[in-house]
Chains A and B, each alone.
Chain A
Amino acid sequence: MARSSSRFDTKKVNSELVTLTYGSLVAQMVKDVENPDDVNKQLDRLGYNMGIRLVEDFLAKTGSGRCLDLKDTADKIQTAFRMYLGVQPNVANWSPAGDEFSFIIDSNPLTDLVELPEDLKGLRYCNIICGAIRGALEMVQLDIQSWIVQDQLKGDANTEIRVKFIRKLEDAIPAGEE
Chain B
Amino acid sequence: MVIYGVYIVSKSGGLIFNYDHNSPKIETEKTFSYPLDIKLQYENKKVIVEFGQRDGIHVGHVLYAINGIPVVGRQMDDGRDVFEVLDNKDNYPINIKFGRPKMTTNEKIFLASMFYPLFAIASQLSPEPKSSGIEVLEADTFKLHCFQTLTGVKMMVVADPNQVGIDILLKRIYEIYADFALKNPFYSLEMPIRCELFDVNLKTVLEQVEKSGISAM
Do B189 and A59 touch (CB < 8 A)?
no
Is B177 in contact with A176, judged by CB distance below 8 angstroms? no
State whether A61 touches B178 (Cβ < 8 A): yes
Give 24 A-B contacts (CB < 8 Å), ordered by A residue.
Answer: A1-B168, A1-B217, A3-B217, A4-B175, A52-B189, A55-B151, A56-B178, A56-B182, A57-B175, A59-B178, A60-B171, A60-B174, A60-B177, A65-B150, A174-B151, A174-B152, A175-B119, A175-B124, A175-B133, A176-B134, A177-B123, A177-B148, A177-B152, A178-B130
Are B151 and A176 neighbours in the complex by a CB distance under 8 Å? Answer: no
Give every chain B residue within 8 A of A63 (Cβ-Cβ): 171
Complex Cα spacing A139 to B172, Å: 20
Q: How far is the CB of B128 from chain A (nearest CB, A)?
A: 12
Identify the closest chain B residue to A3 (Cβ).
Answer: B217
Distance between Cα atoms of A139 and B11 in the complex (Å): 10
The B-contacting residues of A in range 133-156, CB under 8 angstroms, are 139-140
Number of interface residues of A (CB under 8 A): 24
Flag if B133 contacts A176 (CB, 8 Å).
yes
Is A168 in contact with chain B by the CB < 8 A criterion?
no
Q: Note all chain A residues with C-beta closer than 8 A to B150.
A: 59, 65-66, 139-140, 177
Nearest A residue to B179 via CB reads: A57
Contacting residues, chain B, for A55 (C-beta < 8 A): 151
Q: What is the CA–CA distance of A92 and B120 in the complex, to the nearest angstrom?
A: 39
**B-to-A contact residues, CB < 8 Å:** 11, 119-120, 122-124, 130-134, 148-153, 168, 171-172, 174-175, 177-179, 182-183, 189, 217
Min CB distance A101 to B, Å, is: 21
Residue ID in chain B nearest A8 by CB atoms: B175
What residues of A have a CB within 8 angstroms of the CB of B172 in the complex? 1, 4
Residue of B134, B148, B149, B189 most packed against chain A (CB within 10 A) = B149
Q: Is A167 an interface residue (CB 8 A)?
A: no
Chain A residues in 8 Å Cβ range of B168: 1
Alpha-carbon separation in the docked complex, A60 to B152 (Å): 13
Q: Does A82 contact B (CB under 8 A)?
A: no
Among A52, A53, A60, max chain B CB count under 10 A is at A60
- CB contact list, A1-23 vs B, under 8 A: 1, 3-4
Whether B131 lies near A176 (C-beta < 8 A) is: yes
Is B217 a contact partner of A140 (Cβ separation < 8 A)?
no
The CA-CA distance from A1 to B175 in the complex, in Å, is 12
Contact B149 A56 (CB under 8 A): yes
Measured CB to CB, the closest approach of chain B to A21, in angstroms, equals 14
Known A-B contacts A56-B177, A176-B133; the reply to A139 vs B171 at CB < 8 A is no
B119 near A1 (CB under 8 angstroms)?
A: no
Q: How far is the CA of A52 from the CA of B177 in the complex (A)?
A: 13
Given contacts A57-B178, A60-B174, A63-B171, are A175 and B217 in contact (CB under 8 A)? Answer: no
A104 to chain B, nearest CB (A): 27
Alpha-carbon separation in the docked complex, A133 to B152 (Å): 18
**Interface residues in A24-70 (C-beta closer than 8 Å to B):** 52-57, 59-61, 63, 65-66
Residue of B nearest to A56 (CB): B178
Residues of the A chain whose Cβ atoms lie less than 8 Å from the Cβ of B153? 56
Chain B positions within 8 Å of A178 at CB level:
130
* Contact present for B133 and A53 (CB under 8 Å): no
Contacts of A173 in B (CB 8 A): 152
- Report whether A174 and B174 are in contact in the complex, using a CB–CB cutoff of 8 Å: no
Bound-state CA distance A176–B128 (Å) is 12
> What is the minimal beta-carbon distance from A27 to any residue of chain B, in angstroms?
20
Contact residue among B124, B175, B189 (Cβ-Cβ distance under 8 Å from A60) = B175
